[in-house]
């Protein structure tokens, strides 16, 4: 990966960088105060608002509020140093335009509404540390520096290409650092976003888990084509199968999923829609609530009821064949780039997706 190794090793330069951020924040605050206290006032009887000149632009394409929010990283110098050593500012924004590189602090929330500033910074460090040590340069090139991402699965049905790809989240990275895109041709019909976080965040005994934070479908003609070619199925199921395969490749046996009211874009006006996309959807896969209504936990590989207990067995078997194929392909796509052997990958044979009878 490309990184500025000289800056990463130079502690003095790191301190200087911190003071530079503070200087920018202070300069911005002074500029804002001057703007508000020296703006023109036009006396007279006209009570309409007087048009004001635009506020001063701050270097780095950040507003004053976001710059001050980003400067909170300096309250956690050890974490800041860890990110710096990872080459975070240089290596993980390859194809983003005007990237907000401190997105985990500059927005109101990062990953979950319940995360504190310390948890947000720790989670960002955990995610990029995991990415740095787990996979090789080919993975980083595909996921973080190419707009096409890393292909996890693909199939051609009735002349239409379908695929799942893993890529750095291109719009709101604070809703999840990575996204799985379900594509019909080149058109996205669904995305599932996630990050790697420490298991202790959710009180589970695991050094690392995968936290799914966004489940969003696109309404377009391609979505209808998907439903026509994959009967009794929908793109979010394909994305969950893919994320399960990714977790298996990394030896992660339990993943966490956001509860709808903790999802950072949650709007109570659309409460039922959010519930259907999050809590109700996770429960289909046997997920259980944890962490005081802020998250769910789900086993990997996916654990579903045996096919014998399902009303339409042939349909269920067909759906699960698709999910199993996706899970196997996604697992293999990650393993081809994985450079560490611990934890050991989870064997595909442990999957019970096609189980016909209950083991009890």
pLDDT in tens, 257-287: 999 999 999 999 999 999 999 999 999 999 9
Reference 130, options 211, 217, 46; nearest CA is 211
pLDDT in tens, 151-199: 999 999 999 999 999 999 998 999 999 999 999 999 999 999 999 999 9
pLDDT in tens, 222-241: 999 999 999 889 999 999 99
Predicted local distance difference test score (pLDDT) of residue 354: 58
Structure tokens at 214: 């966004």
Taking CA atoms, 125 is separated from 21, 149, 174, 178, 282, in Å, by 19, 22, 13, 14, 27
What class has domain 131-350?
alpha beta
Structure tokens at 147: 């707009």
Predicted local distance difference test score (pLDDT) of residue 71: 75
Reference 250, options 126, 154, 142, 146; nearest CA is 126
| Total-model pTM | 0.79
Give the chain's mean pLDDT: 81
What is the arithmetic mean of pLDDT over 330-346? 95
d(CA 346, CA 348): 7
* pLDDT at residue 312 tops 50: yes
Sign of the C-alpha dihedral computed for residues 339, 343, 346 and 347 taken in this order: positive
Considering 3-12, 28-37, 99-108, 326-335, the range whose residues carry the highest mean pLDDT is 326-335
Predicted local distance difference test score (pLDDT) of residue 353: 64
Q: For the chain, what is the total number of helices (H) and then of strands (E)? A: 13, 8
Helix locations, the chain, DSSP H? 5-9, 11-38, 64-70, 77-85, 88-91, 103-106, 117-134, 137-144, 221-229, 235-249, 271-277, 279-284, 313-335
Numbered ranges of CATH 3.40.630 in the chain: 131-350
Predicted local distance difference test score (pLDDT) of residue 291: 77
d(CA 176, CA 261): 16
* pLDDT at residue 344 tops 80: yes
For residue 53, the 8-state DSSP code is P
Helices 77-85 and 117-134 pack at an angle, to 10 degrees, of 20
pLDDT in tens, 8-29: 333 334 434 444 444 454 444 4
């Amino acid at each position: 990966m490309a990184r500025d190794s000289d800056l990463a090793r130079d502690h003095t330069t790191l301190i200087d960088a911190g003071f530079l951020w503070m200087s920018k924040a202070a300069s911005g605050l002074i500029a804002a105060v001057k703007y508000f206290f020296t703006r023109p006032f036009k006396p007279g009887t006209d009570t309409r608002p007087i048009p004001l000149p635009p506020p001063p632009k701050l270097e780095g394409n950040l507003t004053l509020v976001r710059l001050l929010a980003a400067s909170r990283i300096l309250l956690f110098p050890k974490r800041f140093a860890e990110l710096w050593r990872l080459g975070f500012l240089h290596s993980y924004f390859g194809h983003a335009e005007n990237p907000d590189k401190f997105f985990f602090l500059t927005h109101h929330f990062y990953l979950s509404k319940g995360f504190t500033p310390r948890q947000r910074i720790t989670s960002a460090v955990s995610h990029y540390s995991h990415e740095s040590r787990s996979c090789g340069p080919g993975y980083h090139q595909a996921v973080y520096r190419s707009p096409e991402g890393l292909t996890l699965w693909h199939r051609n049905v009735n002349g239409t290409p379908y695929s799942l790809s893993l890529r750095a989240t291109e719009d709101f990275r604070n809703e999840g650092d990575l996204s799985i895109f379900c594509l019909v041709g080149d058109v996205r019909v669904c995305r599932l976003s996630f990050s790697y976080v420490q298991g202790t965040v959710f009180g589970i005994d695991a050094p690392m888990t995968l936290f799914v934070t966004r489940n969003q479908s696109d309404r377009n003609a391609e979505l209808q084509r998907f439903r026509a070619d994959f009967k009794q199925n929908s793109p979010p199921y394909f994305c969950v199968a893919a994320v399960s395969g990714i977790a298996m490749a990394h030896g992660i046996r339990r993943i966490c999923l956001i509860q709808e009211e903790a999802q950072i874009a949650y709007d109570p006006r659309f409460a039922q829609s959010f519930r259907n996309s999050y809590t109700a959807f996770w429960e289909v896969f046997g997920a259980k609530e944890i962490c005081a209504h802020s998250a769910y936990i789900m086993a990997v590989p996916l654990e579903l009821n045996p096919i014998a207990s399902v009303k339409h067995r042939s349909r269920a078997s067909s759906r699960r064949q698709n999910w199993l194929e996706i899970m196997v392909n996604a697992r293999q796509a990650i393993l081809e780039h994985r450079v560490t052997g611990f934890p050991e990958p989870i064997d595909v044979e442990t999957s019970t997706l096609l189980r016909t009878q209950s083991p009890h």
